[in-house]
Chains A and B, each alone.
Chain A
Amino acid sequence: MISKAFKSYWFPLVLIVPFLAIYGLIFIYPTISMFVLSFTDAPLIGSGNFVGLSNYARLFHDPRLLVALWNTAYFVILSVIPGAAVALLIALAVQRLSGRLQAAVMALFFLPFIVPVSVVYLIWDWILNYQFGIGMHWLDALGIPRVPVFKTVTWFMPAVAIITIWWTCGFSLLVFLAGLRAIPAEIYEAAALDNASRWTTFRRITWPLLWPVTALVLTIQLILQLKIFDQVYLFSTGGRPNDTVVMVQYIFQMAFQDDHGGRAAAVAVTLFLIVIVVTLVEFQLLRLAGGAPKK
């Protein structure tokens, strides 16, 4: 019976086997071993002893975990909603353009997104360089005292958030543009005939029709920024890495710098669960708020 099933389904099997094999290896297996590892006291490489839930218990008394959690949340608050708002505003402006001009302007806004994060880091590290950066000269012009941005705790996150918004705006912009384009022109014409002002049109027509897209952008950005690592790690070199640490970075520090494999895995599992829960909750909230994103 099995061989008969095999005979008739051999073709789909062949098609999905490459995916399944690779995915089993680099996704299923590591996920399971992550959970397993978190119950041991193993170093990064090598084996350890089973310690039950003690790694997790330690997390409750771990001040650095709290710092990491707070920083991650802070970063998310600073970057997700402002980032979406900025992208939406730009999308509204770009949508008015047409033809070559629109394509060119789009390319300009999108270009930063194409650039690798380390290039973003090198450029902005230079722009905000305390002694010679052009950013400092702008501060001078505005009469604001210079700040070594990445070495202070107060300004680190906001700066990284703003740079991240600058960097990733292009993606959200594209999605918003696609959403705006999906609204038929006739609706705006009908609104004009109905004597709607610009603000009313936006508030009562554009915004509601765009809501599924907006929710989508917020969701994607939220999930992405919860997992932030690259720019925070890079910008914190030479700064105060322990004070500005975020969750993934904390995992990295504990596993690769402190060599505590098991404990780091516990943190990883924690983040894993947080992301899943937040995603599900956010999804439900948005759906209740009026119109879930399309599936």
Chain B
Amino acid sequence: MKGSRFHISRVGAWLITSLTVLIALAWVFPLCWGVISSLKPEDEVVRPYIELWPQTLTFDHYYTALTNSLIGLWYINSLVTAVGVTSITIFSSMLCGYAISQLNFPGRRYLYMLILACFMVPTQTLIINHFILMANMHLLNTWLGMILPQLVYYPVVIIVYKQFFDGVPKEFREAALMDNASEWRIFYRVYMPMNWGITTALAIVVFIWTWNNFLWPFLAATQNETMTVPVGITQVYNAFGVYIARRLAAAVLAALPVVLLYLFFQRQVTQAITLSAGIKG
């Protein structure tokens, strides 16, 4: 018995589904392997054969990573930086996006075109001058110096907000005008409360992205103490040397916060990314 040319047979469908699941599991395997390896004692890790599960499960490496390195400091730096970038970006983008969408002022179109144009600009090329600027302002190795150049990702967020506010029916604004609300009240009490969902989504995505950022924190932190987590774990060899399992444990610790954030807020992350891609280009 053959299925029709369009519908593959039941068996075929089941096969493809299983294949998809298998590939998905294989896809995530490298991450699992990293975790597994970090739970093995160092001598087990470097055996000439492969063991898929630790013979001796040990959390020692995590303990060492947490106590013998500056990872605590790095965590704080990462946290402050990520929170700083996220809050500044979200706050000013929301205001700007609202202004472009709802308010009338001269130069409005030019501002929007300016923001769109900034999309195309490769921000990595600005690293030299960011460094010089931060150095001249004596902000290297400070939180502010870490935060400021990472704000170049404004354009996407502003445009997402603008499109969101564009999508709100004009009648709300008109009703509020007839309700004698001032411009500030219209924003604060009518439009802003409507966008908590999208704000949460954007905030989480910006946070994750900032946490993971490598290039600028790498340049801005010339001392070990001021590094962020992703930079620290690759740059500071002395703490780990050739201790592979220990390095992997540090890697897991580095990734853990954002992975947890994603797993909790999977829906929001997905939403934010599809929104931001929907508007690019």
Binding site for B on A (CB under 8 A): 5, 9, 11-16, 18-19, 22-23, 25-27, 29-31, 33-34, 37, 44-45, 90, 93-94, 96-97, 101, 103, 105-112, 114-119, 121-124, 126-127, 129, 131-132, 134, 137, 166, 169, 171, 174-175, 178, 191-192, 195-198, 201, 215-216, 219-220, 223, 226-227, 229-230, 234, 248, 251-252, 255-256, 261, 264-265, 268-269, 271-272, 275-276, 279-280, 283, 293-295
Q: Please provide the chain B residues from 105 to 137 with a CB less than 8 Å away from any CB of chain A in the complex.
A: 105-106, 108, 111, 118, 120-133, 135
Q: Please provide the chain B residues from 174 to 214 with a CB less than 8 Å away from any CB of chain A in the complex.
A: 183-184, 187, 208, 211-212, 214
Docked CA distance A293–B24 (Å): 29
Shortest beta-carbon distance from B119 to chain A in Å? 8
Docked CA distance A135–B117 (Å): 43
Docked CA distance A295–B183 (Å): 29
- Could you list 12 examples of A-B contacts with CB < 8 Å? A16-B100, A22-B148, A23-B154, A26-B133, A122-B233, A174-B273, A174-B277, A198-B5, A198-B8, A227-B123, A248-B215, A271-B125
Q: Which residues of B contact A132 (CB under 8 A)?
A: 45-48, 244
Q: Which residues of A contact B160 (CB under 8 A)?
A: none
Are A119 and B251 in contact, CB atoms less than 8 angstroms apart? yes
Are A96 and B24 in contact, CB atoms less than 8 angstroms apart? no
Are A15 and B96 in contact, CB atoms less than 8 angstroms apart? yes
Shortest beta-carbon distance from B97 to chain A in Å? 9
Are A105 and B20 in contact, CB atoms less than 8 angstroms apart? yes
Q: Which residues of A contact B248 (CB under 8 A)?
A: 122-123, 126
Q: Which residues of B contact A101 (CB under 8 A)?
A: 21
Known interface pairs A105-B24, A122-B234, A230-B214; A248-B105 also in contact (CB < 8 Å): no
Shortest beta-carbon distance from A114 to chain B in Å? 5
Are B215 and A114 in contact, CB atoms less than 8 angstroms apart? no
Are A115 and B212 in contact, CB atoms less than 8 angstroms apart? yes
Q: Which residues of B contact A175 (CB under 8 A)?
A: 273-274, 277
Shortest beta-carbon distance from A138 to chain B in Å? 9
Docked CA distance A42–B211 (Å): 33
Are B34 and A123 in contact, CB atoms less than 8 angstroms apart? yes
- B30 in the interface, Cβ–Cβ < 8 Å? yes
Docked CA distance A19–B251 (Å): 35
Instruction: List 9 extra interface pairs beyond A31-B129, A229-B214, CB under 8 A.
Output: A14-B95, A101-B21, A105-B21, A116-B255, A118-B251, A122-B248, A123-B33, A126-B37, A293-B280
Are B31 and A265 in contact, CB atoms less than 8 angstroms apart? no
Are A220 and B280 in contact, CB atoms less than 8 angstroms apart? yes
Are B21 and A37 in contact, CB atoms less than 8 angstroms apart? no
**B150: nearest residue on chain A (CB-CB)?**
A26
Known interface pairs A178-B278, A197-B6, A268-B125; A44-B131 also in contact (CB < 8 Å): yes
Main secondary structure of the interface of B (DSSP, over half): helix
Docked CA distance A197–B2 (Å): 14
Are B24 and A248 in contact, CB atoms less than 8 angstroms apart? no
Q: Which residues of A contact B7 (CB under 8 A)?
A: 192
**A216: nearest residue on chain B (CB-CB)?**
B281
Most buried by A among B104, B124, B128: B128
Are A15 and B129 in contact, CB atoms less than 8 angstroms apart? no
Docked CA distance A255–B215 (Å): 14
Are B99 and A15 in contact, CB atoms less than 8 angstroms apart? yes
Instruction: Count residues on chain B whose CB falls below 8 Å from chain A CBs.
Output: 98
Shortest beta-carbon distance from B192 to chain A in Å? 12
Q: Which residues of A contact B41 (CB under 8 A)?
A: none
Docked CA distance A293–B229 (Å): 37
Known interface pairs A16-B96, A44-B132; A124-B262 also in contact (CB < 8 Å): no
Known interface pairs A118-B230, A220-B280; A265-B251 also in contact (CB < 8 Å): no
Docked CA distance A11–B23 (Å): 54
Are A97 and B266 in contact, CB atoms less than 8 angstroms apart? no
**A5: nearest residue on chain B (CB-CB)?**
B106
Are B129 and A30 in contact, CB atoms less than 8 angstroms apart? yes
Are B277 and A11 in contact, CB atoms less than 8 angstroms apart? no
Shortest beta-carbon distance from A245 to chain B in Å? 14
Docked CA distance A49–B50 (Å): 59
Docked CA distance A122–B132 (Å): 30
Docked CA distance A264–B214 (Å): 20
Shortest beta-carbon distance from A69 to chain B in Å? 14
Docked CA distance A280–B121 (Å): 11
Docked CA distance A24–B281 (Å): 23
- B28 in the interface, Cβ–Cβ < 8 Å? yes
Q: Which residues of A contact B252 (CB under 8 A)?
A: 119
Are B277 and A29 in contact, CB atoms less than 8 angstroms apart? no
9 tightest A-B CB contacts, nearest first: A30-B129, A116-B212, A18-B92, A123-B34, A15-B99, A15-B95, A108-B24, A116-B230, A268-B125
Are A11 and B103 in contact, CB atoms less than 8 angstroms apart? yes
Shortest beta-carbon distance from B229 to chain A in Å? 8
Q: Which residues of A contact B154 (CB under 8 A)?
A: 19, 22-23
**A218: nearest residue on chain B (CB-CB)?**
B281
Q: Which residues of A contact B280 (CB under 8 A)?
A: 216, 219-220, 293
Shortest beta-carbon distance from B181 to chain A in Å? 12
- B146 in the interface, Cβ–Cβ < 8 Å? no
Known interface pairs A132-B47, A268-B126; A93-B132 also in contact (CB < 8 Å): no
Are A229 and B215 in contact, CB atoms less than 8 angstroms apart? yes
